[in-house]
């Protein structure tokens, strides 16, 4: 892999718990690298820490420990340094209707980024350029429209144009198509792929939709309760997953082969992360006795499988997967 | 006789800006114990159709056509009779309803209220029934004392399903029951709905924009576009081999993981759904249709047999692609 453009290095993010109780370890030790031109999907259940990790990578949240690296240099959190950083790494928000100001025209919404950065020369040209790259053509026809005069798909394109206008090298998109109709969703995903092919734009796409990862991502990172528990190339992880959690997530998709493994109960609470493997209380492999047969049930209950390394290797943070599989490389694991 | 028969139903909203024809001639039948899925883009009229089934639309809505439930016409029946059908015949899990539970009332009381209103059960019987219903949807009976904010989204949706079951209905209409829920919680709710309807022989009309979820849960699927059903048939046929170009586009939007054809190739559909107050001429899908023929803006095709037990409203399934019909109309 070429030198990463954006990395998380053993990032931890803790919050004061909302209703008393202990501290919430929303991100609990994550290594993640994004290379130039690479599309990485970050997937996992609601509340597992995806948005918190994404915000931390954008410098919007400061890690409690660990650090974020931009082109190999640790992020500086002064407003001047962050402003410079944002030219290179842009956020595309969840829910297009919520992130556009209803009283701003499309032109103003897109030009805002330039104005914040004092890039006034060629404003009109650059706004037009960003809009047409986002698929709103001819751009002049959209300049004076307001958000309520656009469809949901068009609004999402305006949000993307607003991120593109500064010509970043990475975008971080949090659920970019979750609120869009199925038929429109494909168009926006095709746009992200085209931007990568034409501009070499890298992307971290946060989603709970594994089909989206199959549609556009090169690599996928599966997050569970604050950690990445399995990662690797999309073809491998989505067709032959080794972590029981990834296996369960894939098995409940409507047209998955085999019978669904429906995990019971609610996604667990980051203020009370179980000891041992953080998944062990819900793990079907442990519950079925397969982990005991492989002699790892003690480890499942008592020993943390550790934090996965960054990079592109196939890895699973699971004691069972490590004993039965050949491809999960135990050497890639950084012990906590 | 089918449990539910809908015949050429239209619903038009009267608004200050003019008439909005939200449902424009929908016909279908649902047999006892059958599960029908209704899919389509936002705004195509799914919820309007569902609410019309029990005359639950606002006063601004005008209906034509017929809706027969157990042989009785819903649109012409008396209010008294309609109340009885709403109570004991069919119940609806409304879209987004899990967010509209009363915040200051315990959920047990909310489930008990209709039972108390409509039956002569004693307080003790009502309490037992409420507990039973909660257990039935996978919540411990003691959760009857919880307030809505103490429950997660998935648990609140279970409460909504318990309320729908309270009167032993013959039909449940579930409007987007799992939208906005997490994949695993969605799987839990779908498994629950499936086992309940199977156990009790209830008919199900499930509405979703997610064709893949419907294909997995239902026996038959109907796809709506701009207020009409444009495709209808056995679930596997509609999802796997749709005959209407819109049905095909909708099915292709849900990639099968592992399928090389969709890898790095997201499938979308250009353009926007039409404004119901300003519909395109001919086939309403023609401005977005990848398989459009020259006469598609002239001929408005109705459902026509398309494969085994299936129908589609597209010139491509009409004899001689509908050309003779166009000729006849212009003559
Ligand atoms: N500012 C905050 N203060 C306290 N707790 C927080 C804060 N932000 C997030 N959390 C908690 O951290 C955990 C992770 O939240 P996060 O929003 O990152 O999850 P997510 O994976 O993005 O979920 P979703 O899929 O629902 O968007 C959750 O338990 C959440 O309640
Ligand atoms: N009370 C109303 N007055 C006027 N127009 C309405 C009213 N309710 C709905 N509509 C319009 O009728 C059409 C159909 O709406 P409906 O809610 O039935 O769509 P839907 O298919 O359920 O969409 P979604 O997937 O977003 O729930 C839309 O164009 C909508 O704007
Ligand atoms: S480490 Fe053990 S408990 Fe954890 S996922 Fe693997 S088998 Fe399950
Ligand atoms: Mg989030
Ligand atoms: Mg609706």
- Is the pLDDT reported for residue B136 higher than 90? no
How far does B29 lie from chain A, in Å, by closest CA?
25
Ligand 2 atom index nearest CA of A181: 25
CB neighbours of residue B287 within 10 Å: 16
Nearest to B249 among A46, A183, A216 (CB): A183
Q: Name the residue among A187, A211, A239 with its Cβ closest to that of B268.
A: A187
Sign of torsion over alpha carbons B106, B107, B112, B114: positive
Q: Do A186 and B188 touch (CB under 8 A)?
A: no
Q: What are the structure tokens assigned to B211, written together?
A: 């064709």
| Distance (Å, whole) CA A291 – CA A280 | 10
Residue A16: predicted pLDDT: 87
| pLDDT recorded at residue A333 | 45
CB atoms inside a 10 Å sphere around CB B314: 27
Q: For residues B234 and B251, what is the distance between their CA atoms, to the nearest angstrom?
A: 14
Other beta carbons within 10 angstroms of residue B89's beta carbon come to 20
B100 confidence band (pLDDT: 50, 70, 90): confident
Beta-carbon contacts of residue A73 (< 8 Å; ≥ 6 apart): none
The total number of residues shown for chain A amounts to: 336
Cα separation, B57 vs B60, whole angstroms:
8
A100 has a pLDDT exceeding 90: no
Residue A326 has a pLDDT of: 56
User: What is the least distance, in Å, from the CA of A215 to any CA of chain B?
Assistant: 5
Interface of B with A in 61-90 (CB under 8 A): none
Chain A: give the shortest CA distance to residue B149, in Å. 13
Q: Which pLDDT band, with edges at 50, 70 and 90, does B277 fall under? A: confident
* CB A323, CB A298: distance < 8 Å: no
- Chain B nearest-CA residue for A240: B258
| Option in B188, B191, B209 nearest A182 (CB) | B209
| Sheet of strand A219-224: strand arrangement | A89-92, A170-174, A202-207, A39-43, A219-224, A227-233, A315-316
Task: Indicate the top mutation candidate among A8, A13, A47 to test ligand 1's pocket, ranked by most ligand atoms within 8 A of CB.
Answer: A47
Residue A150: what pLDDT?
A: 83
Nearest to B262 among A152, A214, A264 (CB): A214
The pocket around ligand 3, CB under 6 angstroms, is made up of: A 244, 277, 279-280, 283, 285-286, 291, 300, 305, 318-320
Phi-psi region at A122: left, alpha or beta (left = phi > 0; alpha = psi -120 to 50): left
As a whole number of Å, the CA-based R_g of chain A is 21
- Which residue ranges have their beta carbon within 6 Å of ligand 1? A 15, 18, 24, 26, 44, 46-52, 208, 270
Q: Between the CA atoms of A266, A269, A275 and A276, what dihedral angle is there, to the nearest 10 degrees?
A: 50
Minimum CA distance residue for ligand 1 atom 31: A47
Give start and end residues of each alpha helix (H) in A17-146: 50-57, 79-88, 96-99, 106-116, 123-133
Determine the distance separating the centroid of ligand 3 and the alpha carbon of A192, expressed in angstroms.
35
**Cross-chain Cβ contact B253/A189 below 8 Å:** no
Q: Find, in chain B, the residue whose alpha carbon is nearest to that of A196.
A: B264
CB-based contacts of B131, cutoff 8 Å, min separation 6: B108, B141, B144
The whole-number average pLDDT for the span B30-46 is 94
| Proximal ligand: closest to the CA of A275 | 3
How is domain B4-31+40-77+213-272+280-330 classified at the CATH fold level? Rossmann fold (3.40.50)
Chain B contact set for A260 (CB, 8 A):
187, 191
> Which position has the token pair 């648990």?
B155
CA distance A167 to chain B (A): 23
Task: Specify the residue for token string 């879209």.
Answer: B95
SS3 at position A137: coil
Which ligand has its closest atom nearest to the C-alpha of A286? Answer: 3
Residue A94 banded pLDDT, cuts 50, 70, 90: low
**pLDDT for res A331:** 44
Tens-digit pLDDT profile for residues A206-248 = 998 899 999 999 999 999 999 999 999 999 999 999 999 999 9
Any bridge partners for residue B171, and if so which?
B90, B203
With a CB cutoff of 8 Å and minimum separation 6, the contacts of B45 are B11, B22, B23, B24, B26, B224, B226, B227, B276
Rounded Cα gap, residues B45 and B63, in angstroms? 13
Pick from A37, A41, A157, A183 the residue to mutate for testing the B interface (most B CBs within 10 Å).
A183
Q: Would you call A253 and B210 a contact, using CB atoms and an 8 Å cutoff? A: no
Mutation test of the interface with chain A: which of B183, B191, B235, choosing the one with the most A Cβ atoms within 10 A?
B183
Nearest to A6 by CA among A29, A32, A26: A32
Percent of chain A with pLDDT over 90: 72
Distance CA A76, CA A93 (A): 23
Spatial CA neighbour of B246 closest among B272, B225, B265 = B225
| Angle (deg, nearest 10), helices A182-199 and B245-252 | 60
- The model's pTM is 0.90
Q: Say how far apart CA A166 and CA A186 lie, in whole Å.
A: 25
- Residue B170 CA to residue B162 CA, distance in Å, equals 14
Q: A95 pLDDT band (50/70/90 cuts)?
A: low
Question: Does residue B327 surpass a pLDDT of 50?
Answer: yes
Q: Which ligand is nearest to the CA of B58?
A: 2
CA A225 to chain centre: 14
Q: Which of residues 239-258 of B touch A (CB under 8 A)?
A: 249-250, 252-258
Task: Using the mean position of ligand 2's atoms as its centre, give its distance from the Cα of residue B26 in Å.
Answer: 15
Residues in chain A with CB shorter than 8 Å from the CB of B266 are 185-187, 189-190, 193, 215-216
User: What pLDDT is recorded for position A179?
Assistant: 75
pLDDT of A18? 67
Helix (H) or strand (E) holding B15: strand B4-15
What does the mean pLDDT of chain A come to? 90
Measured CA to CA in angstroms, residue A204 lies from A50, A91, A147, B153 at distances of 11, 10, 26, 27
- What ipTM, to 2 d.p.? 0.86
Q: How far is CA B84 from CA A226, B74, B81, B298, in A?
A: 51, 11, 5, 45
Q: What angle do CA B34, B39, B44 make, to 5 degrees?
A: 130
Chain segment B179-206, per-residue pLDDT in tens: 878 888 889 899 999 998 999 999 999 9
CATH topology for A1-99+164-336 is: Rossmann fold (3.40.50)
Can you tell me the distance from the alpha carbon of A3 to that of B154, in angstroms, rounded to the nearest whole number? 42
Q: How far is CA B259 from CA A210, B107, B241, B263, in A?
A: 13, 44, 16, 7
pLDDT tens track for B290-300: 999 999 999 99
**DSSP bridge pairs for B228:** B225
Query: Can you give the pLDDT at residue A19?
Result: 65
B184, B254, B257 member nearest A263 (Cβ): B184
Residue carrying the six token digits 């592109």: A312
CA–CA separation, B63 and A298 (whole Å):
65
CB of B35 closer than 8 Å to CB of B204: yes
Q: Which of B250, B215, B217 is nearest to B233 (CA)?
A: B215
Token pair 């459009």 in the structure block, residue: B292
For residue B253, list chain A residues with Cβ-Cβ distance below 8 A: 182-183, 185-186
Residue minimizing CA distance to atom 29 of ligand 2: B43
Instruction: Report the share of chain A in percent with pLDDT over 70.
Output: 94
Map residue A132 onto helix, strand or coil: helix
Question: Where does residue B81 fall: left (phi above 0), alpha (psi -120 to 50 degrees), or beta otherwise?
Answer: alpha
Chain A nearest CA to B191, separation (Å): 9
* Alpha carbons B50 and B40: distance in angstroms, whole number: 13
Q: What is the DSSP string of A254-321?
A: TT-SS------S----TTSPPSSSTTGGG-HHHHTTHHHHTT-HHHHHHS---EEPSSS--EE--HHH
pLDDT band of residue A1 (cuts 50, 70, 90) is: low
Confidence of residue A20 (pLDDT cuts 50, 70, 90): low
Query: Nearest CA of chain A to the CA of B266: how many Å?
Result: 5
A268 → chain B, closest CA residue:
B152
Q: Write out the two tokens for B225.
A: 């576009």
Nearest to A183 among B41, B210, B263 (CB): B41
Distance CA A130, CA A164 (A): 6
Counting ligands in written order, the one closest to the CA of A46 is 1
Q: Which residues of chain A have a CB within 8 Å of the CB of B244?
A: none
| Contact of A308 with A333, CB cutoff 8 Å | yes
């Amino acid at each position: 892999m070429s030198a990463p453009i954006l990395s998380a290095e053993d990032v931890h993010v803790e919050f004061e718990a909302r209703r008393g109780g202990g501290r919430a370890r929303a991100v609990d030790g994550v290594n993640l690298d994004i290379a130039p031109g690479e599309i990485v999907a970050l997937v996992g259940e609601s509340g597992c820490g995806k948005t918190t990790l994404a915000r931390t990578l954008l410098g919007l949240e400061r890690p409690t420990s660990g650090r974020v690296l931009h082109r190999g240099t640790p992020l500086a959190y002064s407003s001047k340094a962050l402003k410079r950083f944002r030219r290179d790494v842009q956020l595309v928000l969840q829910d297009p209707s919520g992130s556009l100001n209803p009283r701003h025209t499309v032109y103003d919404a897109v030009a805002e980024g330039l104005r914040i950065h004092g890039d006034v020369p060629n404003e009109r040209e650059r706004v037009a350029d960003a809009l047409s790259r986002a698929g709103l053509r001819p751009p002049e026809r959209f300049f004076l429209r307001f958000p309520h005069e656009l469809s949901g798909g068009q609004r999402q394109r305006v949000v993307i144009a607003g991120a593109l206008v500064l010509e970043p090298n990475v975008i971080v998109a949090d659920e970019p198509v979750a609120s869009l109709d199925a038929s429109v969703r494909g168009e926006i995903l095709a746009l992200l792929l085209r931007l990568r092919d034409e501009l070499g734009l890298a992307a971290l796409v946060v989603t709970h939709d594994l089909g989206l990862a199959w549609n556009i991502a090169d690599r996928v990172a599966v997050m569970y309760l604050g950690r990445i528990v399995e990662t690797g190339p999309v073809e491998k992880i989505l067709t032959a997953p080794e972590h029981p959690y990834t296996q369960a997530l894939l098995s409940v998709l409507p047209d998955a082969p085999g019978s669904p493994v429906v995990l019971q109960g609610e996604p667990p609470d980051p203020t009370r992360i179980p000891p041992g493997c953080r998944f062990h209380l819900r793990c079907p492999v442990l519950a079925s006795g397969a982990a005991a047969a492989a002699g790892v049930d003690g480890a499942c209950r008592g020993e943390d499988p550790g934090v996965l390394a960054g990079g592109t290797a196939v890895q699973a943070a699971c004691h069972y997967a490590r004993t039965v599989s050949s491809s999960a490389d135990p050497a890639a694991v950084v012990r906590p | 006789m089918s449990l539910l028969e809908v015949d050429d139903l239209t619903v038009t909203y009267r608004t200050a800006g003019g008439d909005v024809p939200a449902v424009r001639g929908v016909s279908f039948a649902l047999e006892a114990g059958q599960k029908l899925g209704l899919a389509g883009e936002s705004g195509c009229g799914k919820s309007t159709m569902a609410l019309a089934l029990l005359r639950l639309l606002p006063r601004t809505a005008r209906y034509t056509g017929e809706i027969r439930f157990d042989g009785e016409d819903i649109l012409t029946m008396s209010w008294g009779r309609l109340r009885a059908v709403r109570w004991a015949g069919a119940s609806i899990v409304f879209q987004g309803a899990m967010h509209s539970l009363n915040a200051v009332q315990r959920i047990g009381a909310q489930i008990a209220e209709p039972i108390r209103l409509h039956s002569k059960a004693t307080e003790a019987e009502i309490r037992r029934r409420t507990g039973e219903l909660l257990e039935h949807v996978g919540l411990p009976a003691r959760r009857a004392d919880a307030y809505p904010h103490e429950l997660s989204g998935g648990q609140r949706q279970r409460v909504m399903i318990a309320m729908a079951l309270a009167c032993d209905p013959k039909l449940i209409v579930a409007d987007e029951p799992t939208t906005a829920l997490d994949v695993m919680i969605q799987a839990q709710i779908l498994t629950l709905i499936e086992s309940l309807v199977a156990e009790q022989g209830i008919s199900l009309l499930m509405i979703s924009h997610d064709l893949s979820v419907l294909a997995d849960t239902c026996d038959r699927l109907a796809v709506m576009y701009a207020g009409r059903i444009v495709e209808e048939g056995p679930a596997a046929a509609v999802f796997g081999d749709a005959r209407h170009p819109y049905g095909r586009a909708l099915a292709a939007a849900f990639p099968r993981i592992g399928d090389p054809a969709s890898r790095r190739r997201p499938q979308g559909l250009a353009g926007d759904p039409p404004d119901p107050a300003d519909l395109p001429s001919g086939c309403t899908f023609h401005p977005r249709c990848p398989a459009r023929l020259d006469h598609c803006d002239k001929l408005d095709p109705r459902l026509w047999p398309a494969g085994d037990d299936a129908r589609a409203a597209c010139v491509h399934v009409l004899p001689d692609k509908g050309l003779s019909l166009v000729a006849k109309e212009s003559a």
